[in-house]
C-alpha cells in the first residue's frame, strides 16, 4: 500500500451556513412564534374571563389568596369603607358581586382590586383623602375594575408569557427578564386604558350616589401632589400620569353634565 498525501480542501465537518442568515432566520421564527402565542393567549384570556362566573372566581380566589383573612378587621374606618362600598355597588345595575374592603396598615399610597371581590385600601392613601366623596371615588374606581373584570386580565397574558420564556431560557437569563420587561410595558399600556375606564366608571357612580363628583377632583389633586413629592413612584408605573387622567375625567364629566361641587 502506497501512501499518497492529499489535501482535503472542502471541510465536510462544518455545516456551510452563513451565521448571520441563520441568526436572523431563527430569531425571526422565535419572535414570530412568541407574537402568535401572545395574541392567541390574549384571545384565550378574554374568552376565559367571559366564561368565569362569580362563584368560580370566589372559589379560585379563596384558594389563591388565603392570607387576606388576617387583614380583615372591624375597626370603625373599615366599617365605614364597607358601608360606602355597599352603597356605591347598589348603584351598579346587574351587580352579582359582593365585596370585602380591607384597610391595610401600610403607608403606601395605593388601593388595589384583587380577585374575589377583595378591595385593599392602604392607609397611606386613606389618610390623605379629605372627604367621603373622595374615598368613594377611590372605591368606585376599584369597583370599576371588578365590573370590567380588569383584575383577572392582569394575570393572564403577561404571566403565561413570562413563564414560557423562563422555561425556554431559564428564569434568570437576560432574555426572560427582557421579555418580562417588555410585557410589563405592553401590559402597562393596557392598564392605563383600563385605569381611565375605571375612573369614568367611578365618576358615574359618584354622581348616582352623591349627585356630584367633587371627590374625583380632590383625589386627582392629591395624586398630583403625591407625584411632586416623590419622583420614582411605583404607583405611576401602572396608572397613567395624573394630568392625563384628570383630562379624561374632566372631559367625561363635562359631557355627562355632572355637577362638580355638592
Partner 1 sequence: MEFVEILFEFVNVIILLLLATLGYFSGTILEKRHYRSILKREKNFLKIPAVSLEKVISPEMKVEKSDLVCGSAVISLDYFKRILAGLRKIFGGSIGAYESLIDRARREAVLRMKEQDPQADMIINIRIETFPIGQNTRRGVGSVEAIAYGTAIHLKK
Binding residue (CB under 8 A) for partner 1 from 27, 43, 72, 186:
27
Number of residues engaging partner 1 in binding (CB under 8 A): 33
Query: Does residue 178 touch partner 1 according to CB under 8 A?
Result: yes
Query: Does residue 30 touch partner 1 according to CB under 8 A?
Result: yes
Segment near partner 1 (CB under 8 A), from 10-18, 75-83, 106-114, 128-136? 10-18
Query: Does residue 20 touch partner 1 according to CB under 8 A?
Result: yes
Binding residue (CB under 8 A) for partner 1 from 61, 80, 110, 177:
177
Query: Does residue 97 touch partner 1 according to CB under 8 A?
Result: no
Tell me how far CA of residue 244 lies from CA of 66, 86, 210, in angstroms: 36, 29, 25
CB-neighbour burial class of residue 261 (10 A; exposed 0-12, middle 13-18, buried 19+): exposed
CA 120 remoteness from chain centre = 14
Determine the Cα–Cα distance for residues 178 and 125; give it in Å rounded to an integer. Answer: 32
Segment near partner 1 (CB under 8 A), from 22-30, 36-44, 56-64, 94-102? 22-30
CB 122 within 8 A of CB 104: yes
Tell me how far CA of residue 206 lies from CA of 136, 143, 148, in angstroms: 7, 12, 17
140: its cell numbers: 368606585
Segment near partner 1 (CB under 8 A), from 40-48, 121-129, 132-140, 169-177? 169-177
Determine the Cα–Cα distance for residues 46 and 133; give it in Å rounded to an integer. Answer: 33
Site residues, partner 1 (CB under 8 A): 1, 3, 5-7, 11, 13-15, 17, 19-20, 22-23, 26-27, 29-30, 168-170, 172-174, 177-178, 181-182, 185, 231-232, 236-237
Amino acid at each position: 500500500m502506497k501512501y499518497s498525501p492529499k489535501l482535503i480542501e472542502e471541510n465536510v465537518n462544518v455545516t456551510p451556513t452563513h451565521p448571520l442568515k441563520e441568526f436572523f432566520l431563527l430569531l425571526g421564527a422565535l419572535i414570530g412564534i412568541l407574537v402568535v402565542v401572545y395574541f392567541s393567549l390574549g384571545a384565550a384570556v378574554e374568552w376565559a374571563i367571559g366564561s368565569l362566573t362569580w362563584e368560580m372566581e370566589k372559589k379560585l380566589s379563596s384558594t389563591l389568596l388565603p392570607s387576606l383573612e388576617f387583614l380583615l378587621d372591624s375597626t370603625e374606618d373599615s366599617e365605614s369603607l364597607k358601608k360606602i362600598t355597599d352603597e356605591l355597588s347598589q348603584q351598579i345595575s346587574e351587580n352579582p358581586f359582593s365585596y370585602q374592603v380591607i384597610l391595610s396598615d401600610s403607608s403606601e399610597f395605593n388601593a388595589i382590586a384583587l380577585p374575589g371581590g377583595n378591595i385593599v385600601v392602604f392607609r397611606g392613601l386613606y389618610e390623605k383623602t379629605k372627604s367621603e366623596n373622595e374615598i368613594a371615588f377611590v372605591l368606585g374606581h376599584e369597583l370599576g375594575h371588578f365590573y370590567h373584570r380588569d383584575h383577572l386580565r392582569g394575570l393572564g397574558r403577561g404571566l403565561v408569557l413570562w413563564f414560557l420564556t423562563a422555561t425556554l431560557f431559564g428564569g434568570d437569563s437576560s432574555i426572560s427578564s427582557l421579555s418580562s420587561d417588555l410585557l410589563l410595558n405592553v401590559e402597562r399600556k393596557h392598564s392605563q386604558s383600563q385605569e381611565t375606564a375605571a375612573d369614568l366608571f367611578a365618576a358615574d357612580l359618584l354622581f348616582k350616589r352623591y349627585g356630584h363628583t367633587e371627590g374625583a377632583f380632590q383625589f386627582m389633586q392629591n395624586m398630583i401632589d403625591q407625584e411632586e413629592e416623590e419622583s420614582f413612584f411605583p404607583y405611576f408605573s401602572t396608572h397613567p400620569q395624573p394630568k392625563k387622567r384628570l383630562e379624561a375625567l374632566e372631559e367625561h364629566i363635562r359631557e355627562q353634565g355632572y355637577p362638580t361641587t355638592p
